[in-house]
Amino acid sequence: MKIVLAYSGGLDTSVLLSWIKEKYQAEMIAFCANIGQEEELTGLDKKARRTGASKVYIDDLREEFAGDFIFPMVQAGAIYENQYYLGTSIARPLIAKRMVEIARQEKADAIAHGATGKGNDQVRFELTAAALAPELKVIAPWRDASFREQFPGRAEMIEYCADKGIPIQASAKKPYSMDRNLMHISFEAGILEDPWLDASAAEHRTMYKLSVSPEDAPDKPEYITLDFERGICVSVNGKSQSPLGVMQALNKLGGKHGIGRVDLVENRFVGMKSRGVYETPGGGILHFAHRQMESLTMDREVMHLRDGLIPRYAELVYYGFWFSPERLALQALVNESQKNVTGTVRLKLYKGNIITAGRKSSVSLYNPQIATMEADPTQAYNQDDATGFIRLNALRLKVAAQVQRRKMPHDQ
């Protein structure tokens, strides 16, 4: 049997590699995706082989992650439950997609992951595999009772590695878990399981990696410009950038000014609520600027139609249905809606705030001569027409009031 394992080199996946190999008498292929986690990848190949892998893939997927996953999601304006920028959610289908590709290339029988049975990631990995390679078996040790019985805690894992001669750097466990990629860093579990704990307090300042606290941000605001073409940001401050370059530049700028910190309680797909703290400096700026560009260039009814679908699109990303037919259908609508979302947005960054400082476009639908409160030089809008417009829209309300003899609120 041949199995492809999502591998990071940490304690959990080191144990998983050895345990799965032993249980299934399998040839193990380790796969690590570089999606901007900034973790040390040097020596990972050697470590995986010493742990029992016959082959190791370490792939730089950052450009694909930004261009084919983050940017289409931003075009859709997708934010889960009006707060979460979906940084972890959007990374999982890319990782699983590459695992499937490797499995097919290596003629593997299965893929394996270290996601727990309580979280969303297990669903995201496995729904992606189901959509792309339904013939592949998926191995999830944390849903195996014998695995959980053998490893009830971190101490047992460290002891197992010592017995097997697995190279690990055992360190004191952090009081929270952390997951990083190009879009964000997420923090959860441990001390953060108390929703009353103030994660912005000074004593937790060292937790954050991408951003300074707003209190420590520069006292002087910084102006930046973002250029868009068809809903895609193509340059920052006048410098053309690839999607990866855009994300790296905005993460740096946003982090400098304490932008993108979010503390929320979210509804997991598996049914429970979970408290998470997130740093999304670049993603926060990108979402904000994109909306400003749309406000100038997007037709009202197209915008409202797309906006009505945002919660559904965000759910599909969060739940793991990135490769589902319904997400692809929604993306086609989103892409059509972005045809004229082109121009420049100017923003002011200041102490955790993103402030609009201007927007312009050669295809702007905003006409100040029509919107002006002064006399309309274009004669495009006759204020007298509003009388009939209001009368027709009021007709059904008047009929209902007469039929139902509705009382005014102050009469009730």
349/274 Cα distance (integer angstroms): 30
SS3 label, residue 28: strand
Q: Which helix (H) or strand (E) holds 265?
A: strand 261-267
Note whether 124 and 89 are within 8 A (CB). yes
- Quote the tokens at residue 145: 């009772």
Reply yes or no on whether 179 is catalytic.
no
Reply yes or no on whether 198 is catalytic.
no
Catalytic residue among 12, 68, 109, 144: 12
User: Exposed (0-12), middle (13-18) or buried (19+): which is 349, by Cβ within 10 Å?
Assistant: buried
Which residue bears the tokens 């797909």?
Answer: 269
SS3 label, residue 226: strand
Strand locations in 107-260, DSSP E? 110-112, 137-139, 177-180, 185-188, 222-229, 232-236, 239-240
Catalytic residue among 92, 124, 275, 306: 92
Reply yes or no on whether 361 is catalytic.
no
Strand partners, 353: 350
CA distances from 248 to 29, 63, 177, 254 (A): 31, 11, 23, 10
Q: 101: left (phi > 0), else alpha (psi -120 to 50), else beta?
A: alpha
Reply yes or no on whether 154 is catalytic.
no
The torsion angles phi and psi of 4, rounded to 5 degrees, stand at: -100, 125
Note whether 51 and 166 are within 8 A (CB). yes
39 C-beta neighbours (distance < 10 Å), count:
12
- Quote the tokens at residue 105: 């290339």
SS3 label, residue 161: helix
Catalytic residue among 146, 177, 240, 242: 177
Note whether 52 and 27 are within 8 A (CB). no
User: Exposed (0-12), middle (13-18) or buried (19+): which is 144, by Cβ within 10 Å?
Assistant: middle
Catalytic residue among 121, 124, 186, 337: 121
What are the residue numbers of the active site? 12, 92, 121, 177
